[in-house]
Amino acid sequence: VTTASPSPGPNSNGWNNTDVTVTLSSTDNEPGGTGVKQIQYGLTGAQPLDAQTVVGTTASVTISAEGLTTLTYFGTDKAGNVEQAKTLTVQIDKTPPVISGMPAPGCALRPPNHKLVAVTTVAAADALSGVVPVVPGSFQLTGTSNEPSDPNNPDVVIAPNSSGGFAVQLRAERLGSGTGRTYTLNATATDLAGNTATSTAVCVVPRTSRTSSNRTINAPTKLGPFLRRDKLADRIVGLDQLWSRPRMAHSS
């Protein structure tokens, strides 16, 4: 009788995230038994290995390849009796999940009109064991702000979607003072093998300096936004028309 003992053993999901060494032990304890002559084994799948023969009662093999590997093994006693072959499946995933959809560098919300803006959808994927379903501690996305928020009108809205990801909305709002608002998003995803990935991104509601030569502001008319170029000319673009008004000269 030959047994296989993997070390470390798989987690509750049946996966490992490190190399696994399998020890084979064979005994022949029946009355009148002649004793174990040899153990034979082989591997198929992610880490193939041709049939190996080891004389004696023990043997071991280390599996390091990611994916699914099947170990087939059996013992033979000194009388030539061959044990029926047995199998053990080892699943290894050493690679963390991939988090996608986090806001890219330079993310900014303009204008600060107090409205919620659909910024992105964040997802996580894993090619081997798969991402743990959205439950506490598996795939999480949180958002914080460096400025106070109104509890009755949240500035950060993160909602699970039907595909297992999160839809993110941020409010285009900032204090009248200060340098602008910064939202920070933190994502964490764990796969079934126990590998964890993290990602952090920021999105800002900038405060435009009054000394800037170019500022986008809200026009007081139905012409929509216009661009003010300080100390040069007022240019208003709207309804497919463009005109310039020269500065008036004043004499003292």
Q: In the chain, pLDDT over 70 holds for what percent of residues?
A: 81
The span from the CA of 191 to the CA of 132, in Å, is 5
Most confident range (mean pLDDT) of 35-39, 178-182, 240-244 is 35-39
Residue with tokens 């199998």: 87
Q: What is the pLDDT of residue 162?
A: 85
Distance between CA atoms of residues 150 and 132, nearest Å: 33
- Other C-beta atoms lying within 10 Å of the C-beta of residue 210: 7
| Dist. CA 5–CA 199, nearest whole Å | 37
CATH 1.10.3720.10 holds for 2-92: no
Omega of the bond prior to 111 within 30 degrees of 0, cis? yes
- Nearest one of 17, 191, 7, 24 to 91, comparing CA atoms: 17
pLDDT at 145: 96
The verdict on domain 98-206 having CATH code 2.60.40 is yes
Question: How confident is residue 33, by pLDDT bands cut at 50, 70 and 90?
Answer: confident
Q: Where residue 137 falls among pLDDT bands split at 50, 70, 90?
A: low
pLDDT at 243 over 90: no
- Residue 88: the pLDDT is 99
What is the Cα–Cα distance from 192 to 190, expressed in whole angstroms? Answer: 7
Domain with CATH 2.60.40.10 in the chain: 2-92
Tens of pLDDT, residue by residue over 207-238, are 875 433 333 323 233 334 433 333 333 333 33
